[in-house]
């Protein structure tokens, strides 16, 4: 079988695309660079929306990126089942594009937070978390100023009842997210967004926080092989 092709989108101001591409490469898949102004997804098997400060975070994080040409391709493709993950700014973009419910707002502390954070994998029935154990605790870096997940009471109840909370903060909540939510999935489970950064936790050589992030990348390979 030829290597799975995972598109990594770069917007002006994206920071983490190189790390995401490296993580894709480390699990034996091919990273396909996608530019915000592209009008096609180049036939990729999955898409990674990396973190950063796309379009300078102007208006709100992700508010302008949502209108980038590549998003006009990505939104219907995700609706048709293409596996998509957004980390940090990528999660913010997925919420702004209404591929995921709710919004990411200023951290309650009003300070940017940068630390290694323990989180719990609450849901393994997604394209991006199937390689983990249900309830597994892992450590991933967080680094954001607008990571406080909020949603209406009705949406929160639906997320909880449907098992759509994928990752939850454990041992402290870095930003005041409601219900300690660090990441969620869509109804179908192909779209996942989370504030922590799995792509920064994939190589022993880098030291802390270790390689707990690799599971997100091995999950997508497993998903593509099983599909």
Using CB under 6 A as the binding rule, whether residue 51 contacts ligand GLN is answered as yes
144, 164, 185, 200: which one binds ligand GLN (CB under 6 A): 144
Q: Say which residues have a Cβ less than 8 Å from residue 104's Cβ, sequence separation at least 6.
A: 61, 62, 91, 92, 95, 144, 146, 147, 148, 149, 150, 195
Distance of alpha carbon 12 from alpha carbon 208, whole angstroms: 29
DSSP state letter for 3: P
CB of 157 to ligand GLN, least distance (A): 26
Quote the tokens at residue 90. Answer: 């990528």
Distance of alpha carbon 14 from alpha carbon 148, whole angstroms: 20
Using CB under 6 A as the binding rule, whether residue 88 contacts ligand GLN is answered as yes
Check 36, 61, 73, 88 and give the catalytic one.
88
86, 141, 145, 174: which one binds ligand GLN (CB under 6 A): 145
The CB-nearest residue to ligand GLN is 51
Contact 165, 111 (CB under 8 A): no
Residue 111 falls in the annotated catalytic set: no
Using CB under 6 A as the binding rule, whether residue 120 contacts ligand GLN is answered as no
Q: Would you call 214 helix, strand, or coil by DSSP? A: helix
Using CB under 6 A as the binding rule, whether residue 36 contacts ligand GLN is answered as no
Using CB under 6 A as the binding rule, whether residue 102 contacts ligand GLN is answered as no
In angstroms, the Cα distances linking 85 to 1, 77, 153, 189, 203 are 23, 13, 24, 10, 20
Using CB under 6 A as the binding rule, whether residue 175 contacts ligand GLN is answered as no
8, 46, 61, 221: which one binds ligand GLN (CB under 6 A): 61
Using CB under 6 A as the binding rule, whether residue 147 contacts ligand GLN is answered as yes
Binding site for ligand GLN (CB under 6 A): 51-53, 57, 61, 88-89, 143-147
Which residues are catalytically annotated?
Answer: 88, 197, 199
């Amino acid at each position: 079988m030829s290597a799975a092709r995972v598109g990594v989108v770069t917007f002006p101001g994206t920071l983490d695309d190189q790390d995401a591409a490296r993580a894709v490469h480390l699990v034996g898949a091919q990273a396909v660079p996608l530019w915000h102004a592209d009008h096609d997804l180049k036939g990729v098997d999955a898409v990674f929306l990396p973190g950063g400060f796309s379009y300078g975070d102007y208006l709100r994080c992700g508010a302008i990126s949502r209108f980038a040409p590549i998003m006009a391709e990505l939104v219907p493709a995700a609706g048709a089942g293409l596996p998509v993950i957004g980390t940090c700014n990528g999660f913010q973009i997925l919420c702004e594009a209404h591929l995921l419910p709710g919004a990411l707002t200023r951290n309650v502390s009003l300070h940017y937070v940068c630390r290694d954070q323990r989180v719990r994998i609450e849901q393994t029935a997604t394209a991006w978390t199937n390689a983990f154990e249900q309830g597994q605790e892992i450590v991933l870096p967080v680094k954001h100023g607008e990571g406080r997940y909020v949603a209406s009471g009705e949406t929160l109840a639906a997320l909880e009842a449907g098992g759509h909370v994928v990752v939850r903060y454990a041992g402290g909540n870095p930003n005041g997210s409601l219900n300690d939510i660090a990441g969620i999935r869509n109804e179908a489970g192909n779209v996942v967004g989370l504030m922590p950064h799995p792509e920064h936790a994939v190589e022993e050589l880098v030291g802390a926080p270790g390689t707990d992030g690799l599971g997100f990348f091995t999950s997508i390979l497993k998903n593509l092989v099983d599909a």
